[in-house]
């Protein structure tokens, strides 16, 4: 079983979710819970830090797709940051960079919210 965990931090208005390990069909639920928790608390500004994420499957990608609309209609967003090249490739191939904001570092993503 691939290990996966999330950590939640707050930086002002922005909520940061740190991902760790392997995000696949089995662990995607975990991330889903983490994000839907934020929505129930009316927190729509989310930065996902990918620094410790080693692998993402299509089910993992689906999690962001599931929530992006809700965030954006509530004048928030999901911004992705600090991806390792192998993870970025997967996002890139799918065309995510055209639709999502992806930053090299977490700070850049957070500061984008604060502009």
The footprint of another protein (CB under 8 A) covers 25, 55, 58-59, 61-63, 65-66, 69, 86, 93-96, 98-99
Minimum separation from the CB atom of position 83 to another protein (A) = 16
Question: Which one, 98 or 115, has the nearer CB to another protein?
Answer: 98
- Alpha-carbon distance of 43 to 14, in angstroms, equals 8
68-94 core/surface letters (b: 16 or more CB in 10 A; e: else): beebeeeebbbbbbbbeeebbebbeee
Minimum separation from the CB atom of position 17 to another protein (A) = 17
Question: Which one, 20 or 55, has the nearer CB to another protein?
Answer: 55
Question: Which one, 5 or 86, has the nearer CB to another protein?
Answer: 86
Minimum separation from the CB atom of position 99 to another protein (A) = 5
- Dump strand ranges (E) for 1-115: 4-11, 14-23, 45-56, 77-81, 102-103
């Amino acid at each position: 079983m691939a290990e996966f965990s999330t950590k939640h931090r707050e930086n002002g208005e922005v909520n940061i979710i740190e991902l760790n390990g392997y995000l696949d069909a089995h662990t995607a639920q975990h991330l889903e819970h983490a994000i839907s928790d934020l929505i129930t608390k009316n927190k729509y500004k989310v930065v996902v830090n990918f620094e410790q994420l080693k692998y993402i499957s299509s089910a993992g990608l689906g999690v962001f797709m599931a929530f992006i609309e809700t965030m954006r209609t509530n004048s928030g967003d999901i911004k992705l940051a600090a991806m390792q090249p192998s993870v970025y490739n997967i996002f890139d191939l799918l065309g995510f960079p055209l639709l999502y904001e992806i930053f090299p570092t977490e700070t850049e993503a957070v500061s984008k919210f604060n502009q």
